[in-house]
Amino acid sequence: MQHTMAMRLSSSRGAGMPAARSSSSRSSSRCAARAGRTTAVKVVATSRFEASNPFMEEMRATAAHIATRGKGILASDESNATTGKRLESVGVENNAETRRAWRELMYTAPGLGQYISGCIMFEDFLYSSTAAGVPFVDVLRKEGIVPGIKADTGMQTLPGTDGETATQGLDNLGTKCKEWYKQGARFAKWRAVLRIAGPGQGPSTTAIMENAHGLARYAQIAQENGLVPIVEPEVTLGPGSYSIEETAYWSERVYSHVFRLLNEYNVVLDAILLKPNMCLPGLDAPPATPAEVAKYTTRTMLRTIPAAVPGIHFLSGGMSEEESTLNLQALNEACPNAPWSLTFSYGRALQATTLKTWAGKQENWEAAQKVLLSLAAANSQAQLGQYKGPHPSPGGGRILQALRTGGAGK
Ligand code: 13P
């Protein structure tokens, strides 16, 4: 458990330690580097959960791989209902074959692995293949992209709240994780949504506590079964004139509860990834500049996210494609020596123009794959703090909830 984890200074490897540097020693040396120290810090597992977990080294390596600098995650785990809405929005019929073809277009984009290190899939597609019969998991692995799975089953209203939600999916989660691992998944995602209803109307304590608990239980079960959990507490971008300061305040409160519960459940932090929102003002407030977004977002992260976590993979959360890239660039400019990779796990910000370009037509297939690659490349540059533009998207506006399903999740 992190808060009881014994740490001692050591200049040599102890018995039983792997020859390769583990990501825990890497994250410790990142901290040491930040503090200007050079002494190697060795982390010794003391929680029974960590010490007895046969997957621990593999999960640390997976998390470190996904958090490789200059790379991010392609989130493509939209439910069939949400995918259907998006397909229909560009004139494509929604059926099992068009949903499969849409995934094939993205997963087979040549060279995707230069910029993408992980791909979150909806369960159907973990078991699905290209038209030529190559399993998607193999297509991704060949590019060095780790297959991941959406583990939650969507949201339900929390009784006694004003429409706030709790995320569902803990029933049989261990059994499901075992199956997903066998099928090739190595990480999982669970999305919790917290809402700011307006100025002074942040998420209720009930919603914060319930969602932190759900995330911690899920993360513990995922790690028990060899899957790196992506912990996704999303303080969602919504209507209202609340300020960026308020989003930062509520995000800080939410993340601090989440990490408190992760610690209580012995979740090993160097084998998780975080998928939070960037701090933005409400949709009816004046927009914030990338520098303001970066200032409040990095402050929130530095206050709440332990350096042991290898990667902070922001969701695009309704931002436009260009806004997602510009804000990511600003974050990395503001915090060039961040202890974690400040990077992306974008769904809409990688898919919107790609889908419009394809529009279900075979003759647009390659052009759409090129768009996806350019969008991924732009965000890869932003992760490295090197994005200069112009942006590959045609400058469309925000990509808001209209194209998402409500209760059934992503
Ligand atoms: P967006 O980037 O579209 O917000 O999706 C990311 C995601 O996976 C949210 O759960």
Q: Is the CB of 346 under 6 A from ligand 1?
A: yes
- Tokens 């073809």 belong to which residue? 101
Question: Torsion angle of alpha carbons 121, 187, 22, 307, nearest 10°?
Answer: 90
Does residue 73 lie within any of the structural domains? yes
274 domain residue, yes or no: yes
Q: What is the mean pLDDT of residues 65-88?
A: 97
State the total domains in the chain: 1
Residue 189: pLDDT over 90:
yes
155 lines ligand 1 (CB under 6 A): no
Q: Which residue has the higher pLDDT, 89 or 2?
A: 89
CA of 347 to the centre of ligand 1 (A): 5
- Write the pLDDT tens digit of every residue in 262-310: 999 999 999 999 999 999 999 999 999 999 999 999 999 999 999 999 9
Q: Encode pLDDT of 343-376 as tens digits.
A: 999 999 999 999 999 999 999 999 999 999 999 9
The pLDDT score that the predictor gives to residue 396 is: 67
The pLDDT score that the predictor gives to residue 384 is: 98
Residue 16, pLDDT > 90, answer: no
Residue 47 Cα to ligand 1 midpoint, Å, equals 33
More reliable by pLDDT, 219 or 45: 219
Average pLDDT over residues 150-162: 96
CA dihedral for 236, 341, 118, 106, sign (positive or negative): positive
Encoded tokens for 342: 């400040």
Confidence band of 86 (pLDDT split at 50, 70, 90) = very high
Would the pLDDT of 7 be above 60?
Answer: no
- Of the listed 150, 176, 275, 356, which one is catalytic? 275
Q: For position 44, what pLDDT does the model report?
A: 63
Q: Which of 119, 399, 410 to mutate to test the pocket of ligand 1 (most atoms within 8 A of CB)?
A: 410
* Amino acid 27: pLDDT: 37
Is residue 315 in contact with ligand 1, taking CB distance under 6 Å? yes
pLDDT of residue 47: 87
**Catalytic residue of the set 104, 232, 234, 322:** 232
Q: Which residue range forms the structural domain that includes residue 91?
A: 2-17+49-383
Question: Are 43 and 24 a contacting pair, CB within 8 Å?
Answer: yes
Q: Where are the alpha helices (DSSP H) in 225-320?
A: 244-264, 290-304
**For residue 248, is it within any domain?**
yes
Is 371:359 a contact under the CB 8 Å cutoff?
Answer: no
Percent of the chain with pLDDT over 70: 86
Tell me if 260 is assigned to some domain. Answer: yes
> Mean pLDDT of all residues in the chain?
89
- Judge if the beta carbon of residue 347 lies within 6 A of ligand 1: yes
Q: Strand, helix or coil at 208? A: helix
Dihedrals phi, psi of 280, to nearest 5 degrees: -135, 155
Residue 394: its pLDDT value, please? Answer: 85
One-letter amino acid for residue 273 of the chain: L
- The answer to whether position 113 is within a domain reads yes
Does pLDDT of 324 surpass 50? Answer: yes
Residue 406 clears pLDDT 60, i.e. is over it: no
Report which of 119, 198, 211, 205 is spatially closest to residue 165, judged by C-alpha positions.
Answer: 211
Question: Using omega within 30 degrees of 0 as the cis cutoff, is the peptide bond preceding 390 cis?
Answer: yes
With the most atoms of ligand 1 within 8 angstroms of its CB, the residue from 83, 322, 348, 399 to mutate is: 348
235 Cα–ligand 1 center, Å: 12
pLDDT of residue 39: 60
What average pLDDT score do residues 180-205 get? 97
Q: Would residue 392 count as lying in a domain?
A: no
User: Nearest-CA neighbor of 255 among 265, 243, 263?
Assistant: 263
Q: Is residue 409 part of a domain?
A: no
Q: State which ligand 1 atom lies nearest to the alpha carbon of 404.
A: 3
Domain contains 144: yes
Decide if pLDDT at 241 tops 90. yes
Q: How far is the CA of 379 from the centre of ligand 1 (A)?
A: 15
Maximal CA-CA distance, the chain? 62
CATH of the domain at 78: 3.20.20.70
Asked if pLDDT for residue 389 goes beyond 70, the answer is yes
Which position has the token pair 């319930």?
210
**What's the gap in Å between 381 CA and the centre of ligand 1?**
20
* Distance from C-alpha of 174 to C-alpha of 172, rounded to nearest angstrom: 5
pTM for this one? 0.88
- pLDDT value, residue 41: 64
Q: What are 195-216's pLDDT values in tens digits? A: 999 999 999 999 999 999 999 9
